[in-house]
Structure 1
Amino acid sequence: MAAESWAAALALLAIDPAGLGGAVLRGPGGPGPEAFIAGIRRLLPERRMFRLPPHIGADRLAGSLYVAETLRTGKPCLDPGLLAEARGGVLLIASGERLTPSKAGFIAAAVDERPGEYLLIVCDEGQDDERAPPALAERAAFLLDLPEDFDETLTAWQDLAAARALLPNVVLPDVITAALCGAALSLGINSLRPALFACAAARATAALDGRREVSQDDATAAVRLVLAPRALRFPVPEAAAEPETPPPPPASDENDANKSDGNPSAREMSELLLAAVKASLPQGLLAALEQNLRQSQAKSGAGAASEKLGVTRGRPAGTRAGEPRNGARLALVDTLRAAAPWQPLRRRAAPGRQGLIVTSTDLRIRRYQQKRETTAIFVVDASGSAAVHRMAEAKGAVELLLADCYVRRDRTALIAFRGKAAEVLLPPTRSLQRARKSLADLPGGGGTPLAAGIAQAVEVATQVRRAGGTPLAVFLTDGKANIARDGAASRPAALADAEAAARMLRLAGVRALMIDLADARGGPAQRVAEAMAAQYLALPRADAASISRAVAAAMPTDA
Structure 2
Amino acid sequence: MSKPFPFTAVVGQDDLRLALLLNAVSPAVGGVLVRGEKGTAKSTAVRALSALLPEVAVVPGCRFSCAPAAPDPNCPDGPHEPGAGSARPARMVELPVGASEDRLVGALDIERALAEGVKAFEPGLLADAHRGILYVDEVNLLHDHLVDLLLDAAAMGASYVEREGVSVRHAARFLLVGTMNPEEGELRPQLLDRFGLTVEVAASREPDQRVEVVRRRLAYDDDPGGFAAKWADEEAAVRQRITAARELLPQVRLGDGALRQIAATCAAFEVDGMRADIVMARTATALAAWAGRTDVLAEDVRQAALLALPHRRRRNPFDAPGLDEDKLDETLEQFSGEDQGDDDPDPDGPGGPDGGGGRPQPDSGPQGGGESAAQPEAGEDGQPQASGAREQSAVRAAEPFRTKVLSVPGIGEGASGRRSRARTEHGRTTGARRPRGTLTKLHLAATVQAAAPHQRARGRSGPGLVIRRDDLRQATREGREGNLVLFVVDASGSMAARQRMGAVKGAVLSLLLDAYQRRDKVGLVTFRGSGAQVALPPTSSVDAAAVRLESLPTGGRTPLAAGLLKAHEVLRVERLRDPARRALVVVVTDGRATGGAEPVALAGRAARLFAAEGVACVVVDCESGPVRLGLAGQLAGELGGSAVTLDELRADSIAGLVRDVQGTSRRAA
Write the letter of the residue equivalent to 2:103: R
User: Which one of 105, 111, 121 corresponds to residue 177 of structure 2?
Assistant: 121
TM value normalised by structure 2? 0.45
1:310 is aligned with what amino acid? T
Aligned pair in 2 of structure 1 residues 30, 340: CA closer, same or farther (>3 Å)?
Answer: farther
Question: Is the Cα–Cα contact under 8 Å of residues 206 and 215 in structure 1 kept in the other structure?
Answer: yes
Q: Which of 18, 22, 30 is residue 12 of structure 1 equivalent to?
A: 22
1:452–1:485 Cα contact (<8 Å) kept? no
Q: Which amino acid aligns with 2:594?
A: D
Residue 319 in 1 paired to residue 408 in 2? Answer: no
Match of 2:550 in 1: none
With over 3 angstroms needed to count, the CA separation of the structure-2 counterparts of 1:324 and 1:286, relative to structure 1, is farther
Pairwise mapping of residues 320-339 of structure 1 onto structure 2 (< 5 A)?
320=435, 329-330=443-444, 332=446, 337=450
Q: State whether residues 112 and 120 of structure 2, in contact with CA within 8 Å, keep that contact through their aligned partners in structure 1.
A: yes
Is the aligned partner of 1:310 residue 2:424?
yes
Q: Is the 8 A contact 1:27 1:125 kept in 2?
A: yes
Correspondence for 2:30 among 14, 21, 41: 21
Q: Which residue among 189, 196, 220 is the counterpart of 2:271?
A: 189
| Alpha-carbon separation, structure 1, partners of 2:277 and 2:370 | 21
> Which residue number corresponds to residue 138 of structure 2?
95
Q: For residues 53-64 of structure 1, what are the structure 2 equivalents within 5 Å? A: 53-64=96-107
Q: Where does residue 146 of structure 1 map in the other structure?
A: 201
In the alignment, structure 1 residue 44 sits paired with structure 2 residue 53: yes
Question: What are the superposed Cα offsets for residues 415-456 of structure 1, whole Å, 9 maximum, x if unpaired?
Answer: xxxxxxxxxxxxxxxxxxxxxxxxxxxxxxxxxx99899989
Label 1:139 to 1:175 Cα distance change in 2 as closer, same or farther (>3 A). Answer: same
Kindly state the Cα deviation for residue 285 of structure 1 after the two structures are TM-superposed: 8.8
Q: Which residue does 1:35 correspond to in 2?
A: 44
Instruction: Kindly provide the amino acid, as one letter, of the partner of residue 52 in structure 2.
Output: L
- What residue number does 1:218 align with? 300
Q: Considering only aligned residues, what root-mean-square deviation do their CA atoms show, in Å?
A: 5.5
Counterpart residue number, 1:441: none
Contact 1:172 1:213 in 2 (8 A): yes
The 1:147/1:297 distance shift into structure 2, 3 A limit, reads: farther
Cα distance in 2 for partners of 1:485, 1:66 equals 64
User: What is the Cα deviation at residue 75 of structure 1?
Assistant: 1.2
The equivalences for 1:426-465 within 5 A come to none
Instruction: State the partner residue of 1:486.
Output: 594
The CA distance in 2 between the partners of 1:310 and 1:2, in whole Å, is 43
- Tell me the equivalent position of 2:248: 166
- Change beyond 3 A, Cα 1:178–1:2: farther
- Structure 1 residue 133 corresponds to structure 2 residue 188: yes
AA matched with 2:418: S
Please identify the structure whose Cα radius of gyration is greater.
Answer: 1
- State the AA in 1 paired with 2:278: L
- How far 1:105 sits from its partner (Å)? 2.1
Cα offset, 1:555, TM superposition: 6.5
Taking the aligned partners of 2:202 and 2:582, their CA distance within structure 1 comes to 43
Alpha-carbon distance change, 455 to 189 in structure 1, aligned in 2, over 3 angstroms: same
3-state SS in 1 of match to 2:34: strand
Correspondence list, 1:377-396, <5 A = none
Q: Evaluate the alpha carbon distance shift between residue 309 and residue 555 of structure 1 in structure 2; reply closer, same or farther with a 3 A threshold.
A: closer
Q: Residue 181 of structure 1: SS of its match in structure 2?
A: helix
Output the TM-score relative to the length of structure 1. 0.53
Counterparts of 1:65 and 1:168, CA distance in 2? 41
Answer yes or no: is the 8 Å Cα contact 1:323–1:364 preserved in 2. Answer: no
Residue of structure 2 in register with 1:515 after alignment: none
- CA deviations on 1:194-251 (whole Å, 9 max, x unpaired) are 22222112111211222222222222222233235544575998xxxxxxxxxxxxxx
Q: Matches of 1:450 and 1:145 in 2, distance apart? A: 40
Hey, what's the Cα distance between the residues in 1 that align with 2:296 and 2:47? 29
Shift of 1:91: 0.6
What secondary structure sits across from 2:367 in the alignment?
A: coil
Residue pair 1:25, 1:145 contacting (<8 A) in 2 also: yes
1:60 and 1:79 in contact (8 A); partners too: no
SS of equivalent residue, structure 2 residue 41: helix
Q: Is the 8 A contact 1:343 1:356 kept in 2?
A: no
Q: Secondary structure at the match of 2:195?
A: coil
How far did residue 146 of structure 1 move?
2.3
Task: Give the corresponding residue for 1:363.
Answer: 472
Cα offset for 1:122?
0.6
Query: Residue by residue, what CA displacement relative to the aligned partner does 1:78-102 show, whole Å, maximum 9, x if unpaired?
Result: 2333223321121111211112333
Q: From the superposition, tell whether residues 228 and 157 of structure 1 become closer, same or farther in structure 2 (CA, over 3 Å).
A: farther
SS for the counterpart of 1:6 is: helix
Secondary structure of the equivalent of 1:320? coil
Cα drift, residue 306 of structure 1: 1.2
